[in-house]
Amino acid sequence: MGSSKWRGQLRETGSTSAAPPATSRATNPIQHRPQDLSKPRRDIHLVEIKYCADTRPQNQLNAAKEQHKDLCNILQGASVTLHIILLGVGGTIYNTHTLKPFKDLGLDFQRVKKLASKLLVHSVNFAAKLVHTRHALSSTIINSHQELVSGQACNPRS
């Protein structure tokens, strides 16, 4: 993507939109219990978090939409919005698929930045863990195979 750029430690793709904070969007400042809101007076937000291949977020985006398509049509409210939050397995943070949903969910810029940094570290740590585990598993298999082969070589009749 042409507009891809590095900003600090975060890899970002797409464009940033300046959405107003969610607090300013509520029409009624009085705090309601969610279950007390009547059907036409409530907005339903579904949040789905998915890990995706860093350079191919579209597959998981489509999968999440398909997964909750029926639920979005069934639920009763003034509107039903599906917020899909995508995180790259290698630590990619997307402008449109990670940061924008956070803003839509009422987090301010500083919190979004802090959370994105935490998630980046979390993803990278788990990527390293997964690589080490796979490596350990494959070397265990190779070692046991080698032991088996050498055992047969020492005692070919057994």
Partner 1 sequence: MITERHNLACRMISKAISKTGSLGSYIVSKDIGSDEQMTIQNLQISETAESRIVLNWLFPPCFPDKDRFTSSRPDFVLVTPITAKTQKQQIDVGGWVLRSGGGN
Query: Which span (5-13, 31-39, 137-145, 149-157) binds partner 1, by CB under 8 A?
Result: 31-39
Helix or strand run (H / E) with residue 88: strand 79-88
99 binding partner 1? (CB under 8 A): no
Nearer to partner 1, 8 or 58 (CB): 58
User: Which of 13, 52, 88, 97 is in the footprint of partner 1 by CB under 8 A?
Assistant: 97
CA distance 114 to 130: 24
Beta strand 10-12 pairing with 79-88: unpaired
> Phi/psi class of residue 2: alpha, beta or left (left: φ > 0; alpha: ψ in -120 to 50)?
alpha
63 binding partner 1? (CB under 8 A): no
In the beta sheet, which residues pair with residue 6?
11
CA distance 79 to 150: 67
Nearer to partner 1, 71 or 148 (CB): 71
Binding site for partner 1 (CB under 8 A): 21-23, 25-28, 31-35, 37, 39-51, 61, 64-65, 67-68, 70-85, 87, 96-97, 101-102, 104-108, 111, 114-115, 118-119, 122-123, 126, 129-130, 133
